[in-house]
Chain A
Amino acid sequence: MVISHRIVLRFPRSLVDQPIVCRLIKDYNLEFNILKASVTPKEEGLLVLELSGERKDYEKGMRYLAEVGVETQPLSQDVIRNEARCTHCGACVVICPTKALALDPLTRRVDFYDDKCIACELCVLACPPRAMEVRF
């Protein structure tokens, strides 16, 4: 069974110069799409990937990452909507490129589908009451 997940990878400083993603893809037969990549001032690496492949291969790949010391977590945990601040105006819906923020035509409220979110952060500053919080 083919599965696909959006995950956040954190590389400690000691691993930043190693071809870990290359081995992940070649040795475990996985496909990837880079959604975001950055190196922090502390020289730690951060990579947001959409990773897909056979379930068995995916699980082995995740074990490999854990063994070499790369921390992983699902992407959705990093993008949060502060429900108390959101006014459901809808200014974000034309800014979000993946329709993770979408207006319900019946309730006229904005729904946040965090499984569609790629953490591009465009909504964060476009939101007038600043309800979107992205934590990496």
Chain B
Amino acid sequence: MTKTIAEINEKIRRGQAVVVTAEEVIEIAEREGVDKAARHIDVVTTGTFGPMCSSGAYLNLGHSKPRIKIGGGKAYLNDVPVYTGIAAVDVYIGVTALPDDDPRNRIPPGHFNYGGGHVIEELVAGKDIKLRVQAYGTDCYPRRELETWINLADINEAVLFNIRNAYQNYDVGVNLSDRALYTYMGVLKPNLGNANYSTSGQLSPLLNDPYYKTIGIGTKIFLGGGIGFVAWHGTQHNPDVLRGDNGVPRGPAGTLAVIGDLKQMKPQYLVGTSMLGYGCTMTVGIGVPIPILSEQILRYTAVKDEEIIAPVIDYAEAYPQGKSDILAELSYSELKSGEIEVLGKRVPTASLSSYSKAKEIAHILKEWIQKGEFLLTEPVAALPGVESGITFKHLKERPVEKAR
């Protein structure tokens, strides 16, 4: 059996496409068998909703009169610094950016109550944001200072452009030391006090398409409550890792770079997030549709939590020192049971990624497709696969000789 995306789109247009979520397909494949399920299911929708630090948005603010060249100067949105090293009134705001006067970890653990992710959430919510600029002044851009309120509705472009999202599998963080750790994996209590994980498992986009057979550059997706696209493979995309018999990576592997118009997104799917003692970030909602082009693709989407294995890593020693020691390998069904066993100790688990929100996203995308509002796209190029030769590099440090 083979189907094409054009054929599936024709069914979507007629309102006849059979669409199920990556959770629902598990039971259908078990009941009917993969071959039968693949014949009548057209699309499987996935979802994920977790903190994703390599996210941000570029904005074109519009030209003031007289003109000001923000490029090369300094600019702040609600006191959070934005990147200005581009043209006159383009800026990029990253979700981990912090106000200059934030005390950070001076008195650890720092609280990190407000940063770039919070600015994006408020911007999308339609709130007025304070823009402050210091520029150096030129003949054609004479103005040197600017302070004004801006609003998403009034600026030219506002585009979410996240260079690494939707990690295909991830570590489980634990703490073997005798003091609390404040990490991007949340608060890790001493002596294996808890274990934190962060993917939506059987609902996660790239875990349902482990070899990137359908998700590619140009794939149309649910992004932040609106529509977005896969722009490229994400940074640190690392396809050539150890995989299970089902093709699913046994640790962090592929990633996506995604892009979409911020003006049609919703604040409940772009949530400013504070990681105690670590920093600010943004929790991003993403849903990717997977066209069922063959039995093999349906088999991939039928992957379930017990078949997805994640490595348990010590964030006291192994992670900060860049060692690759794995304490245990556990399935998502074990992680989601609320308690796991590590080094002979029962350890309670917690998630940083919201499964209930991921499910909500998969259902919203399913509805969009069922109603004929969302057509699938043919990828214009594939993501680099196992054969691409991409390897994950650590920084190669070389001594810099001091000038005499």
Contacts and interface: CB of A to CB of B under 8 A. Distances in A.
A joins B in a complex: yes
Contacts of B288: none
A89 B352 contact: yes
Interface in B173-212: 186-187, 189, 193-194, 196
A120 interface: no
A18 to B, nearest CB: 35
A62 interface: no
Interface residues of B, number: 33
A130 to B, nearest CB: 6
Main secondary structure of the interface of A (DSSP, over half): loop
A89 to B, nearest CB: 4
Interface in A105-136: 105, 107-109, 125-126, 128-130
Contact of A91 (B111, B196, B336, B355): B196
Interface string B41-59: 0000000011100000000
Interface string B35-78: 00000000000000111000000000000000000000000000
B290 to A, nearest CB: 21
A48 to B, nearest CB: 23
Nearest to A91: B186
Contact of B187 (A90, A103, A126): A126
A87 B283 contact: yes
B186 to A, nearest CB: 5
Contacts of B51: 128
Contact of A94 (B275, B336, B349): B349
Interface in A59-102: 84-85, 87-95
Contacts of A103: 338
A128 B273 contact: yes
B194 A94 contact: yes
B350 interface: yes
Given A126-B187, A130-B113, A108 B196 contact: no
Contacts of B349: 94
Contact of B50 (A89, A93, A95, A107): A89
A130 B274 contact: yes
Contacts of A95: 187, 189, 194, 350
